[in-house]
Amino acid sequence: MTTIPICIVDAFTDKPFKGNPAAVCLLEKPMDAQWMQQVAAEMNLSETAFVEPAEEGYGLRWFTPLAEVDLCGHATLAAACTLWQTGKLSKEKEALFQTKSGLLTVRRADEQEGDWMTMDFPAEPSVAGQAPEALIQGLGLIPRYTGKNRMDYLVEVDSERTVRELQPDWTLLRTLEGRGVIVTAKADAGQSYEFVSRAFYPKLGVNEDPVTGSAHCALAPYWSKRLRKESLTGFQASARGGLVRTELKGERVLLGGQAVMVVRGQLEHAAVEGGNVNDEA
């Protein structure tokens, strides 16, 4: 009987049921995009990652319950964790992923650094601009800064408390151009992190993403410039919460995080046979 391994990994945390859960589907051959979208909808997590063998490393695609996305950090971390945990990839080897955002790599930390992993991602700095009325009304505030990159709006507000207490209007945020909205502020004094954030993607069926690696591709260059530090730690203040280490390296960002596998299972034959390998998407 044909089956496909599928796992659930909590990313950007060292504790089960914290951080951001992602499903990881380990494919032996390409499957069509419609089938992948159906699996992602069935999993109903913010992201489901599909990993398949490639000429160099692995192919990697990410789907929310509603759409495919061009870049996802936590599901990439989860994919690398799954390859190492299942023995598909030696723990001494770096994970190489061919994606819509180019080659992405993940490496395990040295033993003295603990169980952290580091991803090499493109920097996605924002360009300052005027805040659309739907953004102002959708957040219920006037931002200190509004910028936008190829994916998201980036908004700075006055305090960590404001970030934590935001109650966005999902209907209004859904009308904005692009993927979603990242809201951030400098951390309160005495915290173990330098900045705090939350990320909202109602257009993709994810009102609030628990911990968003790709958002830190915008947050890292923004706060590195503001705080004059290349290496920073951010805390994403969702209900689950999670820490992301960032290091700006020119046009790249190193994103550090931990991950915990919580589920191992398989897609059964009836679910698998719907995936046509002649993917023209």
- Taken in order of first residue, the domains within the chain and their CATH numbers are 4-116+259-272 (3.10.310.10), 127-255 (3.10.310.10)
pLDDT of residue 44: 96
Cα 58 to Cα 70, 103, 119, 160, 218: the distances in Å are 16, 10, 15, 39, 25
In this predicted structure, the answer to whether residue 52 has a pLDDT above a threshold of 80 is: yes
Instruction: For residue 177, give Cα distances in angstroms to 131, 170, 173, 183.
Output: 12, 14, 9, 16
**Residue whose pair of structure tokens reads 């990242």 in the numeric block:** 182
Give the model's pLDDT for residue 279. 43
**Residue 115's pLDDT is what?**
86
Residue 101 has pLDDT above 70, yes or no: yes
Using an 8 Å Cβ cutoff, are 198 and 208 in contact? yes
What does pTM read for this prediction?
0.91
CB 78 within 8 A of CB 41: no
At 281, is the pLDDT very low, low, confident or very high (cuts 50, 70, 90)? very low
Label residue 272 exposed, middle or buried (CB < 10 Å: 0-12, 13-18, 19+). Answer: middle
pLDDT greater than 60 at residue 151: yes
Structure tokens at 216: 């830190």
Q: What is the mean pLDDT of the chain?
A: 94
Whether 47 is catalytic: yes
- Catalytic residue selected from 42, 47, 92, 273: 47
Say if residue 258's pLDDT is above 90. Answer: yes
Residue 66's pLDDT is 96
Average the pLDDT over 31-39 and give the result.
96
DSSP state of 247: E
**C-beta neighbour count of 72 within 10 angstroms:** 32
Sequence-separated contacts (24+) of 267-271 with Cβ below 8 Å: 267/3, 267/4, 267/6, 267/25, 267/39, 268/1, 268/3, 269/1, 269/2, 269/3, 271/39, 271/42
